Amino acid sequence: MGQLYSPYRSTPRDRRTLGGIRRWLTAAAGALALTGSLVAVGPQASAAGLTQVTGFGSNPGNLSMYAYAPDGLPEDAPIVVALHGCTQSASDYYAHSGWPKFADQYKFALVLPQTTSANNANSCFNWFDSADSTRGKGEALSIKQMVDTAVARYGSDTGRVYITGLSAGAGMTANMLAAYPDVFAGGSIDSGLPASCATSVSAAYTCMYSPPDKTPAQWGDLVRAAAPSGTTHWPRVAIWQGTSDTTVAPANATELRDQWTNVWDIDQTPSRTENLPGNTTLSQYDDASGNPAVSVYSISGMAHGLAVDPGSGAEQCGTTGTYYLDTICSSYHTARFWGLDGGGSGQPPGALPAPTGLTVGGTTDTTVSLSWDAVADAASYNVYRDGTKVGTTESASYTDTGLATGSTHTYTVAAVDSAGAAGAVSSSVTATTTGSTPTCFTANNYQHTAAGRAYQSGGQTYATGSGQAMGLYNTFITHTLRQTSPGYYVVADAGC
């Protein structure tokens, strides 16, 4: 995608028949692609440290699997699956994206699937083809088989598997998150499109240049339809988009935001915004527990590509190249969003000691106030809620806002020196916001829906807030729902 593509796969039976069609489509696509010539397909994954893994399953999508495991990889380490864009390769993405740096620092395994011109004329993942991008089929199943193989090979934590991709790889990433929410804990869609935006090449171009303006519920329904029936747990999603992208219109980021916030049953108004380096604005959308479920990174002036920031700094990564653009290290910020740093510091510990005396000064229905002992030579402090950075302050105190009523969170703090390096993380404290005692309601699915405690979609009923499946939308099925916070209900049939 993004760069150039043909929708047709090539098999021994139909290769000759489709050859002329491919050539025609490639020429047509060229007229619609980025200004400039088509870049050459990269080398077939020979970068140092990157190895090919064979025999990873039935491989119905005809993909190749490449992997990187840093020295000292522990048991139960995470896995990051990284999907290249059109005209690229696994080694190209490995060399430019910056992900190997953080695999070394944070100790996780990398899996880099690779497609070729045998699948698509321009080596794109076939994100727009339901035969390749839905659960249990084609390329999607091949990628799932790679995950299973990596888990067995490295003894990885199945609860910490993540997927990211650029352009066509981002389109496939969105579809993988929708099709396999039971596999991926999080995803990052870089210059990509909403899940199930297209099922044909003509629709693909429409999505790229002028995405359908669906309602959040309509976008969310596409994800719910792709996921296994009864899914209630969804991946945390990062969305990266340049405002000057003429290949994948920036409107796609808005539609992606609408899609995944609806899946999480949260509002499309950001819980907070933050200015980051590289003319980047971060907008975060919290779940009912006050943790970021969707993060949108909008990079002012960036064209189509993956954001990198070459250099040796803690927040820098990658190298520039075709579709690798010098703005901000997206891999660093994505790794932090997923919590891959392990301790919540978001970078290897600097020289400053861990703050001591971290205490909870008070709570309200929506806030937690913290204080700690000042650290000598600290320029500022990073504050982490449940392992994710939520704020920076120059004083030895901080008030976390916008939290859910009656929600419990764990906090840590790290001192940051004048060079921007965060030191060791403090001991944690736990705080619970105030609020009413959870209330329980027993009624049939129709009554729950009428009262706003549940909602119906496609004839099925789901608990408001948690999205837990409750069965058919009728008067014959009865459940007990427990309200744990305003607008958030969980099924409590076993006892309330």
Residues 6+ apart with CB under 8 A from 80: 99, 103, 108, 109, 110, 111, 162, 163, 164, 340
Residues 6+ apart with CB under 8 A from 163: 80, 81, 82, 83, 143, 173, 176, 177, 184, 186, 187, 188
| Pick from 478, 290, 264: nearest CA to 386 | 290
Q: Are 453 and 441 in contact (CB under 8 A)?
A: yes
DSSP state of 337: H
Region of residue 429 (phi > 0: left; psi between -120 and 50: alpha; otherwise: beta): beta
Pairing of strands 408-416, 429-432: antiparallel
CA–CA distance, 430 with 368 (Å, rounded to integer): 10
Beta strands in 101-224 (DSSP E): 109-114, 161-166, 186-190
Reduced to 3 states, what is the DSSP secondary structure of residue 186?
strand
CA–CA distance, 177 with 342 (Å, rounded to integer): 23
Main-chain dihedrals φ then ψ at residue 250, nearest 5 degrees: -55, -20
CA–CA distance, 281 with 273 (Å, rounded to integer): 7
CA–CA distance, 31 with 122 (Å, rounded to integer): 14
| Pick from 439, 438, 444: nearest CA to 479 | 444
Q: Are 94 and 47 in contact (CB under 8 A)?
A: yes
- Tokens for 192? 């990509």
CA–CA distance, 451 with 417 (Å, rounded to integer): 52
CA–CA distance, 5 with 125 (Å, rounded to integer): 9
- State the catalytic residue, choosing from 91, 167, 330, 426: 167
CA–CA distance, 81 with 96 (Å, rounded to integer): 15
Report the 10 Å Cβ neighbour count for 93: 30
Residues 6+ apart with CB under 8 A from 152: none
**Residue 167 is among the residues annotated as catalytic for this protein:** yes
| Pick from 126, 151, 122, 150: nearest CA to 138 | 126
Alpha carbons within 13 angstroms on the beta-carbon side of residue 18 total: 18
Active-site residue numbers?
A: 167
